[in-house]
Amino acid sequence: MSRNPWLAVDAATSPISHAREVRRSWERFVAAHDVASVRAPIAASWERSLDAGVDPLAEPVGRVVADPDEIADRWDGHPLGAMAPVIRECLGGVSDEGEHLVVVTDSDGVLLSVEGDPRVRRAAAETVNFTEGASWSEASVGTNAIGVAIATEHAVQVFAGEHFREAAQAWTCAAAPIRDPDTGRLLGVVDLTAG
């Protein structure tokens, strides 16, 4: 049976050794544009990130594109804002029990809501600008679960060194695109992020 290319790590794989392997793959890509050892969705995203002119070594990572008042207004009027109680019910336990963030974005990858452990929220905001109002599309920051989910219209995990930007490689995330059930239009992404 073949491995699901949208999943970063299976239960039989050591996350620590996998993180080292992924980091070496990223280093080969940055140095020689080699994607031979990278799963297909990540390789394709690295290529799109490079084509978009994203610098894998640049900091800061996320770019704030909207101020807090604008984001509050967007969130209040966004269809996923009305679904916040359902999202909390489904994923809130994960963020409450661990050091995870539950994130909702718009269809452009702008973070509308970031909930979870206050220490993790602060660390994410300070280290990679992962905060409400920041853009996390592939074109903005390169490979990350939010950007890949939007670009591919598929749920995906992005693990450590699979992030295109080196500064984001201390994080791991899983994201799924959310569509309007009536029209099929992409509404945004629900993301779970942890260090």
Handedness of CA 131, 62, 15, 44 (dihedral sign): positive
Residue 131 pLDDT grade (very low, low, confident, very high; cuts 50, 70, 90):
very high
CA–CA gap between residue 187 and residue 183 (Å, rounded) = 10
Q: How many CB atoms lie within 10 A of CB 141?
A: 29
CA–CA gap between residue 20 and residue 64 (Å, rounded) = 31
109: left (phi over 0), alpha (psi -120 to 50) or beta: left
Domain locations along the chain: 15-194
Note the pLDDT tens digit of each residue in 147-180: 999 999 999 999 999 999 999 999 999 999 999 9
CA distances from 193 to 40, 61, 157 (A): 21, 15, 10
CATH fold for the domain made of 15-194: Beta-Lactamase (3.30.450)
Note the pLDDT tens digit of each residue in 77-112: 999 988 887 877 777 666 556 688 999 999 999 999
CA–CA gap between residue 38 and residue 26 (Å, rounded) = 8
Q: How many Cα neighbours within 13 Å face the side chain of 81? A: 12
Handedness of CA 137, 4, 91, 21 (dihedral sign): negative
CA distances from 161 to 20, 51, 113, 129 (A): 8, 19, 25, 18
